[in-house]
Amino acid sequence: MLAIYLNDHFAGATSGAALAKRVARNHHADEFGSRLTAVAREIKRDRTALRQIMRVLGVRPARYKIVAAWLAEKFGRLKPNGGLVRRTRLSALLELEALCLGVQGKAAGWRTLLAVHDQYPRLDEQALRGLLARAHHQFDELENMRARTATALGS
């Protein structure tokens, strides 16, 4: 069961890292640019940390789930946003909301691993606590940007 769970989270981390990178690139020149770039780098490092945890536990990545997650992120770009070929404020808001949800899911994954770490002695409790703290910080950063973007949506 843990292997399936970790693979599901790894698939989510794959699409989340791609989304974070794209969002950071789309905002590189605005007020959120540097913060989003930092969060995107952290999200990529979190994916790497999850992959290392899987390695330590002997869990092989399910390639089909990784490909499906990657494709889902690409197809997610096709949603209507109030503009035909350009980005709108709604695009930014929806992307930030998706990142917030992804980070909350990641935090839940770290909490789950903390809950079972005593059953898997190779899991590093302190590292998991650090990853969870980083997820909380990422959520706070993203939620602040999301709230500011939502407020600007009406103007």
pLDDT, tens digit (0-9, with 9 covering 90-100), for 114-132: 999 999 999 999 999 999 9
Residues whose CB is less than 8 angstroms from the CB of residue 132 and which lie 6 or more positions away in sequence, other chains included: 107, 110, 111, 114
Mean pLDDT on 99-104: 97
Mean pLDDT of the 11-25 span: 93
The answer to whether 20 touches 44, Cβ cutoff 8 Å, is yes
Domains (range + CATH), the chain: 2-153 (1.20.1260)
Strand stretches in 5-139, DSSP E = none
Which of helix, strand or coil describes residue 64? Answer: helix
Do 143 and 125 contact (CB within 8 A), yes or no? no
Query: Per mean pLDDT, which range of 54-58, 78-82, 143-147 is the poorest?
Result: 78-82
Is 133 in contact with 106 (CB distance < 8 Å)? Answer: no
